Amino acid sequence: MSTYYASLLAESGILLLGALSVYIILATGQLSLGNGAFMGIGAYLSSWLTVALNVPLTLALLISAIAAGIIGAIVAFPALRLKGIYLAMATVGFGEMVRSFFLNFDAMGGSGGYRGMQHISVGYVWLWAGGILIAVMLLERSRVWLEMQAVHDDETAAGLIGLNTTVTKIGAFGVGAAVAAISGGLFAHHNVYIEPANFGFDRSIEFVLAVILGGSTVGPGSLVGSLLLVFLPEFLRPIADWRLAAFGTLLIVVLLVRRQGILDRSLIRTLTFRRAAA
Amino acid sequence: MLIQQLVNGLTLGAVYTLLALSFSLVMGILGILNLAIAELFMIGGYLGFTLITAGFPLPVAVLGGMLGAAVIAIAIEKIGYQPLRDAPLVTPMLSTLGFSIILQNVATNIWGSDPAQLPDEYFGKQYSLGPVNIGEMQLIVLVATVVLVALVAYIVQKTPMGRALRAVAENREVARILGVSADRLTMLAFILSGSLAGVAGVLIALHYGTITPYLGVEIGLKAIAVMVIGGTRQIWGALVAGPLIGIAEVLTVAYGGSQVRDFVVYGFMILILLLRPQGLLGGARSDQGQRV
């Protein structure tokens, strides 16, 4: 494998984690357009831990995930008052505030960025990405997931049958933020350089794109989406200058012909030759 | 120089107002965030820029930017919104994102990614009112904003078309039952919104005398914040919130350093969302019931 493809593969693993972070939150009916910020928190915190304090990388990633998870839960608390597009816009605001914070955070380079991290291999990235994807797929078979779906489908009804919707929604935000932070930590240590612009609105949108394109109803959809998002523009290289326009067009076409995303339950069944459950 | 800062803030705020209004015309009626509006604004700016440098007078440039953006808005509605209108809100939002990617790429290929500069001779006179300097373009921006907002307010509040728009915004289903053609009005909302974005683009491009394909990204998110602060449901909100944010921004840059300003603006937006989701001027009703 050439280093070129290895780095694309690492990129898609990092994007997969970002996409999963959105997916987990979306499963409770909440759209976050600010997960780039949680990614940034994970990137900055884990970099500081490994560079300044010499903490081993895996431990640093876990600490950043927990820290971002707590921040995510704290953010989710006031956000419980908001729904739909209003929640989405609030998360945009949160994302821009965090980016702006890092821009002014001179202790870690401010707008100049931060460097000095040890480089990690694509294998290490995918150990995390694959592991968390499997964890999410296991979660999808659990009772907790059914409760999340219930909150997604009808929050009021879910509350009436005795589910604690507050805990479910805040929990999803916290776990989503933690996964985004891992994505950020891996990004930082793969690129060995970070700057606030890496974690802006574009990044948050990229996560959502991967989920919606790949399929927002099943976990592996995020895998399809992130592979597509990273590799497709590479295949479009022959039309160099126009490839983003081509990519935008493809995006619209996919949304028009397959609004549930490329992968959904029935497609998985077809692919695995399993009969539909009665 | 406080008064000078206020005047500059007011000009920036005027552009925010126009763009916020453009966002809320679609948001208020359809509940979707049209992310391509930022790029319609940028394309409008380039069209106006091109017309001015080709020797056309200002009104032609403004009209050109407006028509160009309106035509693209129609295409976005037809291709990217109509077929997806009963999908979850995030789907049409992402299809508008697709258009925004395309438009930015096309603009980069046509006009290049370097900033385009307006030659010096196109800058109008500077008027001095005591200690304050006001450029000709700055005056035009301010006056045009007032006129355009009044025009949109008139259309929405006084005409039968506007009444129908408000009916659809209030309750799409009931409006349909009462014989309002929601489809035609959706198109109308997109056209109005696109035209406004186009005009705003021409004005800001000529005011600054420079433009890049990334102009929309820089100002678009801010305009969304202004829309939220003013209230997504009515026009007067943007008229107050635009200047407020424009002035707040210019003042924080002048007295607090250039990089705290985004922190202030978006912090204020979140505060408004949490404490007064109907916006500064909104009434009691707010609609936060939409599903993603």
Structural contact between residues A209 and B94, judged by C-beta atoms closer than 8 angstroms:
yes
Q: How long a stretch of residues is chain A?
A: 278
pLDDT digits (tens, 9 = 90+) for A139-178: 999 999 999 999 998 889 999 988 999 999 999 999 999 9
pLDDT digits (tens, 9 = 90+) for A7-36: 999 999 999 999 999 999 999 999 999 999
Predicted pLDDT at B283: 60
Maximum alpha-carbon separation in chain A: 59
Q: Which residue of B has its CA nearest to A85?
A: B292
Predicted pLDDT at B148: 92
Predicted pLDDT at B292: 46
Under the phi-then-psi rule, with left for phi > 0, alpha for psi from -120 to 50, and beta for the rest, what region is B269?
A: alpha
Say yes or no to pLDDT of A275 above 80. no
Please judge whether B270 and A97 are an interchain contact, meaning their C-beta atoms are less than 8 angstroms apart: yes
Predicted pLDDT at A274: 66
Which is it for the CA torsion B254, B259, B260, B264, positive or negative? positive
Say yes or no to pLDDT of B289 above 50. no
Predicted pLDDT at A42: 97
pLDDT digits (tens, 9 = 90+) for B135-175: 888 889 999 999 999 999 898 888 888 888 888 877 778 88
Q: How far is CA A260 from CA A2, A94, A226, A271, in A?
A: 34, 28, 16, 17
User: What proportion of chain A, given as a percentage, has pLDDT over 90?
Assistant: 72
Q: How far is CA B79 from CA A84, A258, A260, B185, in A?
A: 23, 15, 18, 16
Which is it for the CA torsion A261, A264, A267, A272, positive or negative? positive
Interface with A, mutate which of B86, B89, B102, B226 (most A CBs under 10 A):
B102
Distance between CA atoms of residues A166 and B174, nearest Å: 33
Please judge whether B266 and A209 are an interchain contact, meaning their C-beta atoms are less than 8 angstroms apart: no
List chain A residues with CB under 8 Å of B91: 212, 255, 259
| Residue B132, helix vs strand vs coil | strand
Predicted pLDDT at B282: 67
Predicted pLDDT at B104: 94
Say yes or no to pLDDT of A277 above 80. no
Q: What confidence category does residue B123 fall into, taking pLDDT thresholds of 50, 70 and 90?
A: low
Q: How far is CA A103 from CA A36, A108, A278, B262, in A?
A: 14, 9, 54, 10
Predicted pLDDT at A234: 84
Q: How long a stretch of residues is chain B?
A: 292
| Residue B248, helix vs strand vs coil | helix
| Residue A215, helix vs strand vs coil | coil
Containing B165, the helix (H) or strand (E) segment is helix B160-170
Number of C-beta neighbours around residue A166 at 10 A: 13
Q: Is the CB of A101 inside 8 Å of chain B's CB atoms?
A: yes
Say yes or no to pLDDT of A276 above 60. no
pLDDT digits (tens, 9 = 90+) for B68-87: 999 999 999 999 999 998 88
Spell out the alpha helix ranges (H) of chain A: 3-26, 35-52, 57-79, 84-104, 122-139, 143-153, 155-160, 165-191, 201-214, 219-235, 243-257, 265-271
Predicted pLDDT at A49: 97
Window 3-32 of B: residues touching A by CB (8 A cutoff) are 27, 31-32
Predicted pLDDT at A268: 82
- Greater model confidence, A60 or B9: A60
DSSP assignment, residue B123?
Answer: S
Distance between CA atoms of residues A13 and B167, nearest Å: 47
Please judge whether A212 and B290 are an interchain contact, meaning their C-beta atoms are less than 8 angstroms apart: no
Phi, psi of A165 (to 5 degrees): -65, -30
Q: How far is CA A115 from CA A61, A69, A106, A190, B12, in A?
A: 17, 24, 13, 11, 36
pLDDT digits (tens, 9 = 90+) for B52-70: 999 899 999 999 999 999 9
Structural contact between residues A211 and A38, judged by C-beta atoms closer than 8 angstroms:
no
pLDDT digits (tens, 9 = 90+) for B217-260: 888 999 999 999 998 877 778 888 999 999 998 888 888 777 78
DSSP assignment, residue B76?
Answer: I
Average pLDDT over residues B170-192: 85
Say yes or no to pLDDT of B203 above 70. yes
Q: What is the number of alpha carbons within 13 Å of residue B62 lying toward its C-beta?
A: 15
Phi, psi of B275 (to 5 degrees): -95, -30
- Greater model confidence, B178 or A252: A252
With CA atoms as reference, report the closest residue to A140 among A218, A224, A32, A216.
Answer: A218
Q: Is the CB of A231 inside 8 Å of chain B's CB atoms?
A: no
List chain B residues with CB under 8 Å of A252: 79-80, 95, 98-99
Predicted pLDDT at B261: 84
Q: Which two tokens stand for residue B128?
A: 């001095």
Beta bridge partners of B210: B117
Predicted pLDDT at A278: 44
Structural contact between residues B265 and B61, judged by C-beta atoms closer than 8 angstroms:
no
Q: Which two tokens stand for residue B110?
A: 């046509």
pLDDT digits (tens, 9 = 90+) for A105-121: 999 998 899 999 999 99
Beta bridge partners of A114: A194
Predicted pLDDT at A4: 87
Predicted pLDDT at A1: 65
Say yes or no to pLDDT of B131 above 80. no
- Tell me the pairing of strands A114-115 and A193-194: antiparallel
User: What proportion of chain B, given as a percentage, has pLDDT over 90?
Assistant: 43
